[in-house]
Chain A
């Protein structure tokens, strides 16, 4: 997770897209997550990034109570959309100071320190790997929007929806549905659902839904989105 480089235009663009559906970085109240990202941005985002700017101005209004906002500050890489790494310069302590030292400390025992640092790093990596192994793996979920088409305008759509919703599987949750007119008085059923990728596939869904031959003519996946 992360926003890329928040000091560059591309990072702000990621932030802007992320905030288009959210009021805050995390949850529904201002928190240290907002403060952390706010602090990483050098100046107010430009006006064309309206979502980022809206959030920026809103968080700015909390400046006086910045430290009393709930939550614990995490590194920038813990926030934002999955699949984008954090590359903001200065967000993690860089090795800039070390470089300076190297320049001056010509006769220093660099090697020893390096091996010490490497050992420490290895230790930490092992610790992290052990921790990671213990953590349960994240369950991959998808939200799917299905179009279910009836045979003709005489098909009982209420019954059809009932049939579709009667499909019960582990890792399948039905969401909201809607009837969308197709033409000639025929309506199709548009229904959303959330599935666990490992347990439910669209082909299984299609098989189960088209099994209601009396009502269902065909079924399409209108949208498929990983959560």
Chain B
């Protein structure tokens, strides 16, 4: 899963030669052995490295504040979202829904890798949601639909059908 996300990111960044990854431990943490120095361990570490390599620093956030927000969401993705239970899933969606109410992207006014990796991470949850639930988390659904249509993001994941008009109006936002 994580390896496919990294290769999708490589394609998005337009990196010419794909890197070779290995995994370690039970949780299959990705490892990148670079030519110089120690190996890079972990999804977020490798992702940030790839972005810097591609010289697309704006994807890490364009101000000090949004850089911090990006890091926080990446951490949230790896620590909270991955391997969450059904109960936790509801809380995560609810919190994210509230957070996205006044935002188009997770950090600042442009796409960052926080959006990319939250999208990859939350995809399996969204796929299983019924139409009613998708409408209940309308802000998440809107953000999700936006990111999945952003050019170059959705590589290894199937698109999720999202209704753009609401059926069950008058419910919570």
Contact = CB atoms under 8 A, between A and B. Distances in A.
A121 to B, nearest CB: 35
Contact of A223 (B109, B138, B150, B168): B168
B173 interface: yes
Contacts of A62: 109
Given A23-B104, A50-B102, A54-B103, A225 B130 contact: no
A55 B104 contact: yes
Nearest to B138: A20
A143 B150 CA distance: 25
Interface residues of B, number: 26
A180 B102 CA distance: 32
B109 A227 contact: no
Contacts of B168: 223
Interface in B126-165: 128, 130-131, 138, 141-143, 145-146, 149-150, 161-165
Contact of B173 (A20, A58, A178): A20
A175 B134 CA distance: 14
Contacts of B145: 21, 23, 28
B165 A223 contact: no
Given A20-B166, A23-B143, A145 B102 contact: no
Interface string B94-133: 0000000111100001000000000000000000101100
B102 A21 contact: no
A200 B36 CA distance: 64
Interface residues of A, number: 28
A173 to B, nearest CB: 10
A145 B131 contact: yes
Interface string B22-64: 0000000000000000000000000000000000000000000
A227 B130 contact: no
Contact of A21 (B103, B104, B138, B161): B138
A55 B103 CA distance: 8
A21 B141 contact: yes
A21 B166 CA distance: 8
B167 interface: yes
A227 B163 CA distance: 9
Given A57-B102, A192-B131, A21 B165 contact: yes
Nearest to A62: B109
Contact of A225 (B128, B162, B167): B167
Contacts of A81: 165
A94 interface: no
A53 B142 contact: no
Contacts of B101: 50-51, 54
Contacts of A175: 161
Contacts of B128: 178
Given A143-B163, A225-B167, 13 more contacts: A20-B142, A20-B173, A21-B145, A21-B163, A21-B166, A23-B104, A50-B101, A51-B101, A55-B104, A57-B109, A58-B104, A223-B131, A225-B163
Interface of A: 17, 20-23, 27-28, 50-51, 53-55, 57-58, 61-62, 81, 143, 145, 175-176, 178, 180, 190, 192, 223, 225, 227
8 contacts: A21-B138, A22-B164, A28-B145, A50-B101, A50-B173, A54-B104, A192-B131, A225-B167
